[in-house]
Each structure stands twice: as C-alpha cells, then as structure tokens.
Amino acid sequence: MTFPSNKFRGRSAVTNPDNRYAAWQRETADDGWPVDADEALAPMVTEMIIDTAKTVISYNTSPDIPFDRSVNPYRGCEHGCAYCFARPSHAYLGLSPGIDFETKLAYKPDAASLLRKELAKPGYQCAPIALGINTDAWQPVERRLGVTRGILELLNECRHPVSVITKSALILRDIDLLAAMSRDNLVHVGVSVTTLDPAIARTMEPRAASGQRRLAVVKALAAAGIPVTVLVAPLIPSLTDHELESILVAAAKAGATSAEYIILRLPHEVKPLFRDWLERNQPGRSEHVYSLLRQMHGGKEYDSRFGQRQRGSGPLADIIAQRYRIAAKRLGLDNPAPRLDRSRFVAPVIIETGRQSRQFSLF
C-alpha cells in the first residue's frame, strides 16, 4: 500500500507492503477518485505494543558476528532508517516492514526482570551480551520508557559484560553506568556513522542523530574512558562510499579506538523499500547503486551467505576493503575490539514473595 509522501513527514518509508508471511497480498488500484495533494493529513504517530516475551536472551551460532547472545528491548525502530536490515523482522509480528516498522513498535517492559531470572539460572555461562543489535536500544521512545536503562542497571549490578551498538545520542544519559562498567573492562560501545552529509541523512535516517552529533557522542564516551568503535555502516556504493576515509578521520579525532565497516545489506523486503527511497530522494542514482551491489554479490543484489553478506566479494569489494585497511592503519583504528572480562560475573539476586534469595555455587 502506498500513501501520499506528505503524510509521513519525518519518516523514510511511504509504503506499507504486506509482510511475506501473509496469506494474501494487496495491490494498489485507481478507483477514479481525484487525489488532492493539498488535503490536510493527520500526522503519523508512533504506537506502542507490549511484547509479552517469556525470555529476553536470543542465542545465535552465526560465524561472522562476534557474539553468541543478544538482548533487544524493542522490535521496530522509530529512527526509520531507509536501509535498516531489521525491517523484515516485523513480519514475525504480522506487521509491515514499511511504515509499520517505524510507527508500530513492540517493547518489553519487564525485560530487566526476565533477564535477571535468566542470569540467575544455575547453568548460565557468562559471555558478553550484545544489547540492541536488531533495533536501536536508545531509540526515541527509550527516553520515556527506560527499558534499556533497567537492563544496564542489572548488568552493572551483577558485573556482566556487555557490548552495544547505537546511533543515538540518548546513550549519553547512561554514561554513568557505562563508565562504571568500563573501569572493570565490562563494556564496549559501537557507534554507527553512515554519512556526514546532512542532506542525505535528513531523509535516509529521519529520526536518528546527525552524523556530527554521533561523533560528539564518540568524543563524550571516549572522554569518560569507554572504548568506542565507529562503524561505517552501512557503506552504500555510489551514495556514501566516498565518505569512508573522511568518517574514519573524524572518528579518530573524536577518540574512537577502532573502526569497522559493513556494506549495505538488502534482505527480503528491504530491497524494494530502499529502491523506493532512492528513486524518491536520489533520482537517477537508483540503478547505479543496485548495479554496484550486484557486482559485489555475484550478480545478485544481496548475498545472505555468512562471510559474504557484510563485505561482499569481487574487485569493487576488494577496493573498498583495501581503502579501509590503509585508512584504519594510518589512523590507528585497526585495533581489535577489547576482550571483555567475564570473570567478575556474580549471579543476580532474585526477589521472591517479599524475600531475597541468591543462587549460590555448590563449591
């Protein structure tokens, strides 16, 4: 379903395609009624849905990501980035990866208490938790809901290591917890910077912090002693790839200790949604972008295989990799992310019917 673009000021999508699991699909048809371009339209508001999850830790065995478990306080993301690889996950809720992904969000109000129970289980083996990997844990609604803050307070309490990725300046609200954990090598922060061009960012990442604001976040975190990696992600050929070196230079000046990059990923419904965004906001560039992506994915616009999906292959991918290696080495950003300390973990206290109990070790 396509809507008038002026209805969604501050949103990157103007379509709401049916999710791929639906038993039916809708098609747009002209019913003969005239469209009044000046007609006043109600603003699109964000709706919140309670996610009644029984557990909050998701485990994975993916060989090309550096963690085996993650916690996502939210499903959907108000940042509304046109390229977001997580958009297809909204299909699991029976919702669209388009406007629904940006405006109908699910959250886990009891995430911290559920996590407490999971960490207290006798058989739990501590390893770094990745926080907010599918969608941003510090998106705008977190300011009033505080779900992520509650999770961080618990992880700090039981000295559990955590790594986070965000593009939000709201993370600075929690710099007290992050700094305290950093002193014991329990936290690592990744800040993604897609572009420093405000004209592109304004429509591609309509509700996320600007590139310059994210660099200010890097500077503040680094000043507090928190190790920061800047992720040039996603790197979009023919649109933002020329900014690779300038973003790395700015990251080094801001105090980042390492850097990485990820090529644009277009799984499932993201492919047509991002093409639609390109055609509306970068007219004439769409086919060039997709042609270069095909060159990096063996003729396909996306290759989901492990080891290929984030970097691609072929001459163009090799050139980008070489550019990154040269710049990162010159700027001192080619360091690996720190290995977080898991030896300090203490199982959290469980509160049951007014009394406290702790799961003690047998030995």
* Nearest one of 357, 262, 249, 252 to 317, comparing CA atoms: 262
3 state DSSP class of 192: strand
Residue 87 pLDDT greater than 80, yes or no = yes
Specify the pLDDT at position 359: 52
Looking at residue 53, what is its pLDDT?
A: 86
Average pLDDT rounded to a whole number, residues 216-226:
98
Q: What does the pLDDT look like over 227-281, one tens digit per residue?
A: 999 999 999 999 999 999 999 999 999 999 999 999 999 998 999 999 999 999 9
Q: Is the pLDDT of residue 20 over 90?
A: no
Better-scored residue on pLDDT, 289 or 353: 289
| 359 or 164, which is more confident | 164
7 or 115, higher pLDDT: 115
Mean pLDDT on 291-318? 93
Q: What CATH superfamily is the domain 5-21+45-337?
A: Aldolase class I (3.20.20.70)
Say if residues 263 and 232 touch (Cβ distance below 8 Å): no
Closest CA to 56 of 94, 128, 113, 123: 113
User: CB count, 10 Å around CB of 174?
Assistant: 19
Q: How many CB atoms lie within 10 A of CB 355?
A: 7
pTM comes to: 0.86
Tens digits of per-residue pLDDT, 44-75?
788 999 998 899 999 999 998 899 999 999 99
SS3 of 156, please?
helix
Does residue 109 have a cis peptide bond before it, meaning omega lies within 30 degrees of 0? Answer: no
Q: Where are the domains of the chain?
A: 5-21+45-337
Percent of the chain with pLDDT over 90: 75
- Per residue in 28-52, pLDDT (tens digit) is 444 444 545 444 455 678 899 999 8
Q: What is the pLDDT of residue 350?
A: 82
Question: Cβ contacts of residue 283 below 8 Å, gap of 6+?
Answer: none
The percent of residues in the chain predicted with pLDDT above 70, rounded, is 85
Q: Are 162 and 186 a contacting pair, CB within 8 Å?
A: yes
> 213: part of which helix (H) or strand (E)?
helix 211-223
pLDDT tens sequence across 149-158? 999 999 999 9
| pLDDT over 60 (residue 353) | no
Closest residue by Cα to residue 190 from 93, 88, 67: 67
**Using DSSP, how many helices (H) and how many strands (E) does the chain show?**
11, 12
Other beta carbons less than 10 A from residue 291's beta carbon? 12
- The full DSSP string for 14-73 is -B-PPPTT-S--------SPPP-TT--------EEEE---S--EEE---TTSS-SEEE-S
pLDDT at 361 over 60: no
Query: For the residues 105-129, what does the mean pLDDT come to?
Result: 96
Question: Residue 292's closest CA among 278, 307, 280, 306?
Answer: 278
